[in-house]
């Protein structure tokens, strides 16, 4: 069954939910509710689907954080469909909007790999980048907990030596989840800390090394130069590492998260996205913009504050959770047409 068919069934309550789907359902409740309210407001202001309607639709979609390019594409395709099929019923137009968002999201993500890469031998090295305050250290701590619970030997590297308290914050996470942390004094050279961590990971047969980094985007040139230096040191010691460079973004910042993604992608080799705080925002549509405009896979999603609420990203469960209950089945019209025949 396609995602859009599942979304329609969800309106009638026919689609049973797995525990993972329930996580997404609950985590995306604010985004789903806000998106539905925006659509209802749009249709309340227009009696006909005319040129003004499509201009307002574009603004509505942009405000829902699906991205400028996505909004323009949906509006253009919907205009063509309205002309061909003479669609004017608000429920039918609303369903067409969501169906096109789903179709575009699926087509842009074709052959996308949302899994986290693992080393064939030796330690898997995952480098985390992102601006301060997005939940980078918390993400590292939660992922360390998961790997530790799976029986893996995990090591953390406190590479954010510039920010006051960052080293201690990661060390506290290490104590909390019972994993070791390689650290240096505040203001020390981050590259030297990473070198020590990589060396220890190799010598002591660690399975996973999670690397925290600084996030001072206001010093972009210096920051990106530092990240490049760290990557070179890792690659020199472990030739195929880092196996992932994950950019951590705060979903509550909406379009600012997209701007950050573009800036980091321009200057460092990002392999995937971690989207935090999805449960605390009405801006879940930013995932659509990241995939459709950045062509970067979301690999992890923060759906709550509990330790196990950092989830592997599941595109189908995400889309289902974002739009569930917003599309009505329309059997009455079909039945009437059949009767007339």
Give the total number of structural domains in the chain: 2
**Under DSSP, is residue 133 helix (H, G, I), strand (E, B) or coil?**
coil
Query: Average per-residue pLDDT in the chain?
Result: 86
Count of CB atoms situated within 10 Å of the CB of 129: 27
- What's the pTM value of the predicted model, to 2 decimals? 0.86
Whether 113 is in a domain gets the answer: no
> 250 versus 222: which is more confidently predicted?
250
* Whether residue 146 sits in one domain with residue 258: yes
Asked whether residue 216 is marked as a ligand-binding residue, the answer is yes
pLDDT of residue 337: 42
Asked whether residue 279 is marked as a ligand-binding residue, the answer is yes
Task: Provide the CATH number for the domain around residue 57.
Answer: 1.20.120.140
Asked whether residue 137 is marked as a ligand-binding residue, the answer is yes
Asked whether residue 277 is marked as a ligand-binding residue, the answer is yes
Residue 11, pLDDT > 80, answer: no
> 207 versus 292: which is more confidently predicted?
207
Asked whether residue 276 is marked as a ligand-binding residue, the answer is yes
Residue 128, pLDDT > 80, answer: yes
* Whether residue 145 sits in one domain with residue 79: no
Asked whether residue 249 is marked as a ligand-binding residue, the answer is no
Whether 80 is in a domain gets the answer: yes
Residues 24-46: tens digit of each pLDDT: 888 888 999 998 898 888 888 88
* Whether residue 150 sits in one domain with residue 21: no
How far is CA 173 from its chain centroid?
23
Whether 324 is in a domain gets the answer: no
* Whether residue 303 sits in one domain with residue 186: yes
List of residues 6+ apart from 30 with CB closer than 8 A: 279, 280, 281, 282, 284
Domain of 196? 122-313
The domain boundary, picked from 75, 106, 137, lies at 106
* Whether residue 298 sits in one domain with residue 170: yes
pLDDT of residue 177: 96
pLDDT of residue 110: 77
Least Cα distance to 54 among 31, 5, 8, 87 occurs for: 87
Asked whether residue 214 is marked as a ligand-binding residue, the answer is yes
* Whether residue 71 sits in one domain with residue 170: no
* Whether residue 309 sits in one domain with residue 175: yes
Whether 218 is in a domain gets the answer: yes
DSSP per residue over 18-85, as a string? -HHHHHHHHHTHHHHHHHHHHHHHHHHT-SS--HHHHHHHHHHHHHTTS-HHHHHHHHHHHHHHHHHH
Whether 11 is in a domain gets the answer: no
pLDDT band at 6 (very low <50, low <70, confident <90, very high): low
pLDDT of residue 17: 65
Whether 306 is in a domain gets the answer: yes
User: Sheet containing 180-182: which strands, arranged edge to edge?
Assistant: 180-182, 154-158, 208-212, 124-129, 244-250, 272-276, 298-302, 310-312
The domain boundary, picked from 49, 77, 106, lies at 106
Residues 257-282: tens digit of each pLDDT: 888 888 888 878 899 999 999 888 88
Asked whether residue 281 is marked as a ligand-binding residue, the answer is no
* Whether residue 133 sits in one domain with residue 86: no
Whether 111 is in a domain gets the answer: no
- Angle CA(227)–CA(228)–CA(231) in degrees, nearest 5? 85
Asked whether residue 212 is marked as a ligand-binding residue, the answer is yes
Whether 10 is in a domain gets the answer: no
Cα–Cα distance for residue pair 184/50, rounded to 1 Å: 63
Asked whether residue 283 is marked as a ligand-binding residue, the answer is no
Task: Provide the CATH number for the domain around residue 219.
Answer: 3.40.50.300
* Whether residue 278 sits in one domain with residue 177: yes
Share of the chain above pLDDT 70, in %: 90
Residue 340, pLDDT > 50, answer: no
Asked whether residue 132 is marked as a ligand-binding residue, the answer is yes
């Amino acid at each position: 069954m396609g995602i859009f068919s599942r979304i329609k069934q969800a309106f009638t309550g026919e689609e049973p939910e797995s525990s993972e789907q329930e996580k997404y359902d609950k985590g995306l409740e604010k985004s789903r509710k806000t998106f539905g309210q925006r659509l209802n407001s749009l249709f309340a202001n227009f009696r006909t689907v005319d040129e003004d309607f499509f201009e307002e639709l574009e603004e509505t979609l942009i405000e829902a954080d699906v991205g400028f390019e996505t909004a323009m594409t949906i509006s253009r395709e919907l205009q063509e469909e309205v002309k061909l099929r003479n669609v004017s019923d608000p429920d039918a137009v609303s369903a067409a909007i969501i169906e096109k968002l789903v179709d575009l999201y699926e087509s842009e993500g074709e052959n996308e790999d949302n899994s986290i890469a693992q080393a064939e031998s030796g330690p898997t090295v995952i480098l985390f980048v992102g601006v301060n305050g997005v939940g980078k250290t918390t993400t590292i701590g939660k992922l360390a907990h998961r790997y530790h619970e799976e029986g893996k030997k995990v090591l953390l590297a406190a590479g954010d030596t510039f920010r006051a308290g960052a080293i201690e914050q990661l060390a506290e996470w290490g104590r909390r989840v019972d994993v070791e942390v390689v650290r240096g004094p505040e203001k020390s050279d981050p590259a030297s800390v990473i070198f020590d961590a990589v060396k220890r990971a190799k010598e002591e047969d660690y399975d996973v090394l999670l690397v925290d980094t600084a996030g001072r985007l206001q010093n972009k040139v210096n920051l990106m130069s530092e990240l490049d230096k760290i990557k070179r040191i890792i690659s020199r010691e472990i030739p195929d590492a880092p196996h992932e460079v994950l950019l951590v973004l705060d979903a509550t910042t909406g379009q600012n998260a997209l701007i950050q993604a573009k800036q980091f992608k321009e200057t460092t080799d990002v392999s995937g996205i971690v989207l935090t705080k999805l449960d605390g925002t009405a801006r879940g549509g930013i995932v659509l913009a990241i995939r459709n405009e950045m062509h970067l896979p979301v690999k992890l999603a923060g759906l709550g504050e509990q330790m196990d609420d950092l989830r592997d990203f599941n595109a189908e469960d995400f889309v289902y959770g974002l739009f569930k209950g917003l599309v009505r089945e329309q059997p009455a019209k079909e039945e009437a047409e059949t009767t007339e025949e």
